[in-house]
Amino acid sequence: MKFEQNLSLIFEDLNIPEVFISEYFCSANSDYIKVYIYCRYLCKYNSEISVLDLSKKLSIPIKTVEQSLKYWEDQKVIIKKNKSYELCDLKMIEVNKLYNPKLSMTPEEAIENNEKNVLRTQAIKDINNTFFQGIMSPSWYTDISLLFDKYSFDEDVMVALFRYCFDRQALHRNYLFAVAEGWASNNIKTMNDLEKYYLETEQSNRIKKSISKKLGITRNLSQYEEAYIDKWTNDYKFGMDIIEIALRKTTSKTNFSFDYLDKIITDWHERNFSTQDEVQSYIKEQKQKAKELKIMQSKTNPDQVSLQKFFDPNDQYSDITNYIR
């Protein structure tokens, strides 16, 4: 026995769960959304359609339709079968994300969790009201719990994390987790850690701008050039006063590279120099040796090998011509 519906399409409604808006709508391409909604419409009536016909119907290139279907597959919103697609229940997806039962808990764990929950509940409430207008989707609660457990951020750092992404108009899961991973790799757990990181980053950015200006670089530095500078400032703890001494060595070079600068600065670091005076004293000492060598050369005319041996044999990055004037 088969029962058939006898209603006009004009009286029918297509149900789109609100979780689609909160979880997927804002981050998806408009064409991808168009494809998904039309697929839901077809699914309601168990209709069949080819990729080509779907492309014609929606006035979207075939390649875009294929990319759309692949995107929703990756989001686990649809499942590709042998000759069809299955649209997943979005509400059930969110329920499964939230359902994480814990069958037992010691009294000590209960007390500790209760104290944490008071602070965390307030932090989550602040995040919800500040960045989601009080309608934060359920999956964000799971993500926040995961961030707390994985990175041990305190509550103020968690709010600051959302603020950082929100201010950059990038408050979506992938970016937020990428920033969180970056903060964790810099050992950030408390607001003191975060403030110290901000200060170091600000100092590093100032030095990058100063280096670009002094070298006459008008383009943005490449990620490899920035990595060199981060090493000099963060790992070696050198300030602009020491780095500028190395920059002066580029004035006699027609074609210099950051690799050349890095060899000079790394050599100073390996010699345990930490102040401008130590570097200047070393350079002065090398110049004095060069002067004495020049005098010896005028008298005895030694070959270049003899000149090189007069210098510190461990100074593999020194250039004698930098000292002989």
The enclosing domain of 261 has a CATH number of 1.10.10
Q: Are 286 and 313 part of one and the same domain?
A: yes
Residue 72: inside a domain: yes
d(CA 277, CA 26): 56
d(CA 233, CA 239): 6
- End residue of a domain, out of 40, 65, 94: 94
pLDDT over 80 at 7, yes or no? no
Cα three-residue angle 95-98-103, rounded to 5 degrees: 115
Name the residue with tokens 């006699």: 252
Residue 234: inside a domain: yes
Residues of the domain holding 231: 206-271
Residues 36 and 77 sit within 8 Å (Cβ to Cβ) = yes
Q: Are 236 and 219 part of one and the same domain?
A: yes
d(CA 212, CA 297): 39
> CA nearest 282: which of 239, 249, 252?
249
- End residue of a domain, out of 271, 292, 317: 271
Per-residue pLDDT band at 145 (split at 50, 70, 90): confident
pLDDT in tens, 91-116: 777 766 655 544 444 555 544 554 56
pLDDT over 70 at 21, yes or no? yes
Q: Are 247 and 279 part of one and the same domain?
A: no
Residue 90: inside a domain: yes
Residue 58: inside a domain: yes
Domain count, the chain: 4
Q: Is 220 helix (H, G, I), strand (E, B) or coil?
A: coil
Residue 310: inside a domain: yes
Residue 1: inside a domain: no
Helix (H) or strand (E) holding 79: strand 78-80
Q: Are 242 and 300 part of one and the same domain?
A: no
Q: Are 112 and 178 part of one and the same domain?
A: yes
Tokens of 151: 């990175």
Residue 2: inside a domain: no
- Could you give the percent of the chain with pLDDT greater than 90? 22
Mean pLDDT, all residues of the chain = 80
For the ranges 17-26, 139-148, 279-288, 296-305, the lowest mean pLDDT is seen at 296-305
> pTM here?
0.49
Task: Mention every residue, 6+ apart, whose C-beta is less than 8 A from residue 304.
Answer: none
Helix (H) or strand (E) holding 11: none
Q: Are 247 and 282 part of one and the same domain?
A: no
Q: On the CB side of 129, how many CA atoms lie within 13 Å of its CA?
A: 6
Q: Are 281 and 244 part of one and the same domain?
A: no
d(CA 251, CA 293): 23
Task: Mention every residue, 6+ apart, whose C-beta is less than 8 A from residue 30.
Answer: none
Residue 197: inside a domain: no
Q: Is 101 helix (H, G, I), strand (E, B) or coil?
A: coil
Q: Are 176 and 251 part of one and the same domain?
A: no
pLDDT over 90 at 163, yes or no? yes
Residue type, 238: F
